[in-house]
Amino acid sequence: MQVTELEIAGAWVFEPQVFPDARGLFAAPFQSAAFRAALGFDLTVAQTNHSVSARGVIRGVHFADTPPGQAKYVYCPRGALLDVIVDVRVGSPTFGQHLAVELDASSCRAVYLAEGLGHAFVALTDDTVMSYLCSTPYNPAGEHGISPLDPELGLPWPSDVEPLLSEKDSTAPGLAQAAADGMLPSWEACTGWYATLRG
């Protein structure tokens, strides 16, 4: 398992070895030993999510109140998608910045996002499947979103894909409005929570 820490604190890429043969392929997208060696704690899995999206569907940018927040370990078992991580933690050195990682069924590459980070993706093919390992159960009262089309964020959605959003995502506020409304997690609260996880 190759593990890479990304430029936004709390975001990591995990790339397993893939074993193809005449039957197909085998890979282990999540490996607890590799996760613990990289991050210093075990991933608690309280819920798994599964979404299927047509080409052009954008889901996000979603985040949860932190603490406890909701960390996510995500991979794409079918199709291909562009996964986008947005730093929405007020006070973070990389606040408002984003990273994009392509996930697909042939590489079995995965991304880990710590609590407090914003998450979005766009499906690049029809019937794209996203699998999520989540550290906490879904909590509607603590779940929030910002617009994935916010021009201030300038997220790197492909120009040849017509975006399709849910009503909730299409009416979500921009980053500046969310900050003004006090919706966003703070860097201080998030880093305190990360320290708690590491004991």
Burial 123-159 (b: 16+ CB within 10 A, else e): bbbeebbbbbbbbbeeeeeeebbbbbbbeebebebee
Specify whether 75 is catalytic: no
Residues whose CB falls within 8 Å of the CB of residue 11, separated by 6 or more in sequence, listed in order: 5, 85, 99, 111, 112, 113, 114, 117
Neighbouring-strand partners of residue 177: none
Cβ–Cβ under 8 Å, residues 61 and 148 = yes
d(CA 118, CA 59): 11
d(CA 65, CA 68): 7
Determine which one of 98, 112, 132, 144 is catalytic: 132
Nearest to 39 by CA among 97, 137, 112, 91: 112
Determine which one of 62, 98, 119, 144 is catalytic: 62
Specify whether 62 is catalytic: yes
Residues assigned a catalytic role: 62, 132
